[in-house]
Amino acid sequence: MEKMSEDVVLRAISHCFKCKLCAIADFHGSDEKWLALCPSGSYYGFNSFYSPGRFEVFREILSGEIDCGTEMLVKVAFGCQLCGACYERCKEVSKVELDNAELFEELRSVLAERGWLLDAHVRIREDVERTGNAYGASEKLEYPSSGDEVIYFVGCTARHREREISEAMVRVLNASGARFTVLGDEWCCGSPLLRTGQRDVASRLIAHNVEEIRGIGAEKMVFTCPGCLKTFKESYSDLGVELLHASEYINSLVSEGRLQPGKLKIALPYHDPCHLGRHLGIYDAPRETLELIGVEVVELSRNRGNAWCCGSGGGVKSGFPEFATWTADERVGEIRETGSDIVVSACPFCKRNLEDSGVKVFDLAELVSQTL
Ligand code: SF4
Ligand code: SF4
């Protein structure tokens, strides 16, 4: 969340040798087709929408060669899900860690300082400032509370859009006997603002949540939203609390004998959320949770570090809905290739965007709760 100096940005950009290998996965499909990795470049088609081109645009903005926020420039900067596929692939081929998504966030914050923002993202900021949540929802939704062993951080999407996920997680927590609480006045974690270059407002949200959390004294916090978890891990000061994704926490509850889920005995494809997989390196825990409840994981053609984004991240769903839908349609095609119209994921944004493109998505927490 710290501002990067121009020197750091320019040094990083100079390490990109424009090979463009970050555009494709590192294997051929069974029919010898190259598999695309970058939704932004694949959809818009111009080099400036792939990682190396966006780096050059950033360099030109810093050098003053570009001095005006045209519609196309704003699209180049914000028309990317920050999915991190380019980072993973680049790390593999160049052995250099370029932190592509962090650099693109920095680009956005440079544009934001100049007032070159998308109206849709300004509206999110206004909604958050007015209501404390990214959807501008005014209703106060209460969750039961049974103690202070663990805090369940619900997040805006599982609270106001995909409520079945938070309800399922509460059922799982209750079944395990975990003494849990939800913050009385939980605000947006700050992720939508950090991803769209609006760090100033994010800082205020973070300060508020830290205050709420410190008063409780829990040992653990559990998240059904990988975006919230990433933000807590990377942008919150050390709270002295263990931060866990729901899959990790559920697995520990089962291994401690506190939760006894049943077995579903089905095979389902699993979609790796970008924020959980590439950004936090959590690939195995959700697969282990599925195994615990008798779900055989069917791997999609692009999985783990090569997973194709659901389309909604990085402010794309609000800023460029057609691009978000196109990206989800691509993933849905891949899901259907497995013969399934159902997919499992572990992120409320993935559930929302993939369901908008016509498949049924179960969050892990929902599937676990169904076995109890
Ligand atoms: S793989 Fe890395 S070095 Fe090659 S173009 Fe992509 S970002 Fe640049
Ligand atoms: S973060 Fe994802 S969408 Fe953005 S340039 Fe990299 S691969 Fe493409």
pLDDT tens, 90-122? 998 888 888 999 999 999 999 999 999 999 999
pLDDT at 28: 55
Nearest ligand to the C-alpha atom of residue 38: 2
Residues 253-276, mean pLDDT to the nearest whole number: 97
pLDDT at 136: 95
Nearest ligand to the C-alpha atom of residue 20: 1
Report yes or no on 287 lying in a domain.
Answer: yes
Residue with the larger pLDDT of the pair 68 and 313: 313
* Structural domain ending residue among the three candidates 68, 94, 117: 117
Shared-domain flag, residues 210 and 286: no
Judged against a pLDDT cut of 70, whether residue 26 lies above it is answered with no
The per-residue pLDDT for range 157-174, each reduced to its tens digit, is 999 999 999 999 999 999
pLDDT at 94: 87
Beta strands in 122-278 (DSSP E): 150-153, 180-181, 220-223, 242-245, 266-270
Shared-domain flag, residues 58 and 83: yes
At 173, list the tokens: 């927590």
Most confident of 31-35, 211-215, 314-318: 314-318
Judged against a pLDDT cut of 60, whether residue 29 lies above it is answered with no
Find the 89 Cα to ligand 1 centroid distance in Å.
8
Judged against a pLDDT cut of 70, whether residue 1 lies above it is answered with no
Shared-domain flag, residues 232 and 272: no
Residues 341-368, mean pLDDT to the nearest whole number: 98
The helix/strand/coil state of 25 is strand
Ligand 2 and 101: CB distance under 6 A: yes
Report yes or no on 365 lying in a domain.
Answer: yes
Nearest-atom index, ligand 2, CA of 22: 7
Find the 94 Cα to ligand 2 centroid distance in Å.
17
Report yes or no on 139 lying in a domain.
Answer: no
Domain count across the chain: 3
Shared-domain flag, residues 218 and 294: no
How far is Cα 172 from Cα 370, in angstroms, rounded to an integer? 9
Q: Whose CA is nearest to atom 2 of ligand 2?
A: 83
Q: Whose CA is nearest to atom 6 of ligand 2?
A: 86
Shared-domain flag, residues 238 and 336: no
Ligand 2 and 24: CB distance under 6 A: no
Q: What is the dihedral of CA 93, 273, 192, 198, to 10 degrees?
A: -10
Find the 55 Cα to ligand 2 centroid distance in Å.
11
Residues 6+ apart with CB under 8 A from 113: none
Nearest ligand to the C-alpha atom of residue 305: 2
Shared-domain flag, residues 80 and 175: no
Find the 49 Cα to ligand 2 centroid distance in Å.
8
Report yes or no on 24 lying in a domain.
Answer: yes
Nearest ligand to the C-alpha atom of residue 103: 2
Ligand 2 and 327: CB distance under 6 A: no
* Structural domain ending residue among the three candidates 226, 255, 284: 255
Report yes or no on 124 lying in a domain.
Answer: no
Domain limits for position 35: 6-117
| Beta carbons within 10 angstroms of residue 122's beta carbon | 14
The per-residue pLDDT for range 283-300, each reduced to its tens digit, is 999 999 999 999 999 999
Residues 58-67, mean pLDDT to the nearest whole number: 95
Report yes or no on 358 lying in a domain.
Answer: yes
Ligand 2 and 81: CB distance under 6 A: yes
Report yes or no on 317 lying in a domain.
Answer: yes
Distances (CA, A) of 116 to 100, 202, 233, 320, 352: 21, 18, 28, 16, 28
Find the 213 Cα to ligand 2 centroid distance in Å.
33
CATH number of domain containing 308: 3.40.50
Ligand 2 and 100: CB distance under 6 A: yes
Shared-domain flag, residues 163 and 206: yes
Nearest ligand to the C-alpha atom of residue 95: 1
Report yes or no on 313 lying in a domain.
Answer: yes
Find the 364 Cα to ligand 1 centroid distance in Å.
34
Shared-domain flag, residues 197 and 283: no
Q: Whose CA is nearest to atom 2 of ligand 1?
A: 90
Q: What DSSP designation does 162 have?
A: -
* Structural domain ending residue among the three candidates 209, 230, 255: 255
Shared-domain flag, residues 236 and 285: no
Judged against a pLDDT cut of 80, whether residue 61 lies above it is answered with yes
Share of the chain above pLDDT 90, in %: 91
Shared-domain flag, residues 104 and 194: no
Shared-domain flag, residues 279 and 210: no
Shared-domain flag, residues 272 and 236: no
Ligand 2 and 107: CB distance under 6 A: no
Nearest-atom index, ligand 2, CA of 101: 1
